[in-house]
Amino acid sequence: MSTLTEAPPPLAPEAPGPKPPKRRGRWTPYWLLLPGILWLLVFFALPMVYQASTSVQTGSLEEGYKVTWHFATYWDALSAYWPQFVRSVLYAGTATILCLLLGYPLAYLIAFRAGRWRNLIMILVIAPFFTSFLIRTLAWKTILADGGPLVGALNTLHVLDVTSWLGLTAGDRVLATPLAVICGLTYNFLPFMILPLYTSLERIDGRLHEAAGDLYARPWTTFRKVTFPLSMPGVVSGTLLTFIPAAGDYVNADLLGSTDTRMVGNVIQTQFLRVLDYPTAAALSFILMAAILLMVTLYIRRSGTEDLV
């Protein structure tokens, strides 16, 4: 994401004599940019305009829709679907925190403790990507199955009593509860947390750890005062790369959840593809986009890290 905030490109000092032919045309960069940027303008930026226009249209599928600047759609959509919005933020936020807690030790292990196993562990982190994520998400149906060994063990250890008290599970089931959805989200986006964390941890000079030790810092103090602050760019981009896709996801809520765990992505999908209520769906999608962009901007400002990834 350093694309946003990079320094001007390092240009080679012009050598005397024949001018480097590669920089001959003022127009060359524009020709290089043209096809790709045109593609993004037409198929990324223009659709946003169409979506905004669709959201203020009224009409019906049979008679067609017309722009009537009907902003009430936004209000209606929000008042009808605010629980799904809240759920999206809560589930995605919880999954992001869990990803950070689970991913940090693994990234730390790969960066500092793995030795000659480093490449192998790295491959094992990336390799699951090559099995379709839908198949892997379906595997969680087996793992979390009612009466399966995992649910049985959680029941015996009275973990499920605690989680049902928190409202995360219901009775002795895990499937079709918020816990299952959060578990699926955490699993699906964990690699997006681990990779940026690893990248920023790997850059840390090992001598800093030694120096901290020489100055009588205990391991925990070293971590809190040296390692963690230096890994902040990884933490920021990891949380963004986890939270953004998790907040818009509807696959986990659909496959592992129930009608009580529907997120805003599920609503957009149903309104667009089944109910065919395009204005409402476009309004919801627009609100989601605005909310995410706002959160991301505030978060990047607050964390003060500008060079991500």
Partner 1 sequence: MPFVNWLKRNLVVIAGLLTLAYLLLPNIIVTVFSFNKPKGRFNYEWQQFSLDAWKDPCGVSDLCGSLSVSLQIAFWATLGATLLGTLIAFALVRYRFRARGAVNSLIFLPMAMPEVVMAASLLTLFLNMGAQLGFWTILIAHIMFCLSFVVTAVKARVMSMDPKLEEAARDLYAGPFQTFVRVTLPIAAPGIAAGALLAFALSFDDFIITNFNAGSTLTFPMFVWGSAQRGTPVQINVIGTAMFVVAVLFVLASMAVGHRRNRQKA
Nearer to partner 1, 191 or 234 (CB): 191
For residue 173, what are the β-bridge partners?
Answer: 170
Q: Within positions 92 to 131, which residues make up the interface with partner 1, using CB under 8 A?
A: 102-103, 105-110, 113, 119, 121, 123-131
Residue 68 has which token pair?
């009537």
**Coil/strand/helix, residue 168:** coil
Residues between 185 and 214 with contacts to partner 1, criterion CB under 8 A: 187, 190-191
Amino acid in the structure at residue 85 = F
Residue 42 identity = V
Binding of partner 1 by 4 (CB under 8 A): yes
Element (H, E) at 57: strand 57-60
Contact partners, residue 305, CB within 8 Å, separation at least 6: 232, 233, 236
Establish if 299 lies at the interface with partner 1 (CB under 8 A).
Answer: no
**CA distance linking residue 10 with residue 2, whole number of Å:** 15
Residue with tokens 């790997």, as numbered in its chain: 202
Residue 176 binds partner 1 (CB under 8 A): no
69 near partner 1 (CB under 8 A): no
Taking CB under 8 A as the binding criterion, the range among 36-44, 76-84, 200-208, 228-236 that sits at the site for partner 1 is 36-44
Cα separation values, 136 from 188, 192, 256, Å: 9, 16, 12
Please tell me whether residue 29 binds partner 1 under the rule CB under 8 A. yes
Query: What single letter denotes the amino acid at residue 209?
Result: H
Nearer Cβ to partner 1, position 165 or 206? 206
Q: Does 181 engage in binding with partner 1 (CB under 8 A)?
A: no
Q: Which C-beta is closer to partner 1: that of 61 or that of 72?
A: 61
Task: Work out which of 67, 134, 294, 298 binds partner 1, going by CB under 8 A.
Answer: 134
Taking the complex as a whole, the smallest distance from the CB of residue 308 to partner 1 amounts, in Å, to 9
Cβ proximity to partner 1: between 33 and 208 the closer is 33
User: Helices 178-202 and 133-143 meet at what angle, rounded to 10?
Assistant: 130
Cα–Cα distances (Å) from 164 to 56, 140, 178, 179, in that order, read 42, 20, 10, 9
140 forms part of the interface with partner 1 (CB under 8 A)? yes
Q: Which residues in the 223-282 window bind partner 1 by CB under 8 A? A: 240, 244-245, 247-251, 255, 265, 268-269, 272-273, 278, 281-282
Q: Rounded to the nearest whole angstrom, what is the least distance from the CB of residue 4 to partner 1 in the complex?
A: 5
Token pair listed for 172: 């002795």
If 0-12 CB within 10 Å is exposed, 13-18 middle and 19+ buried, where does residue 159 land?
A: middle
Q: How far is the CB of 170 from partner 1 (least distance, A)?
A: 19
- Structural contact between residues 112 and 121, judged by C-beta atoms closer than 8 angstroms: no
Q: d(Cα 98, Cα 167) in Å, to the nearest integer? A: 17
Residue 16 touching partner 1 (CB under 8 A) = no
Tell me the closest approach of the beta carbon of residue 65 to partner 1, in angstroms. Answer: 9
**Residue 169 or 252 with smaller CB distance to partner 1:** 252
Among 16, 22, 116, 216, binds partner 1 (CB under 8 A): 22
- Count of residues near partner 1 by CB under 8 A: 94
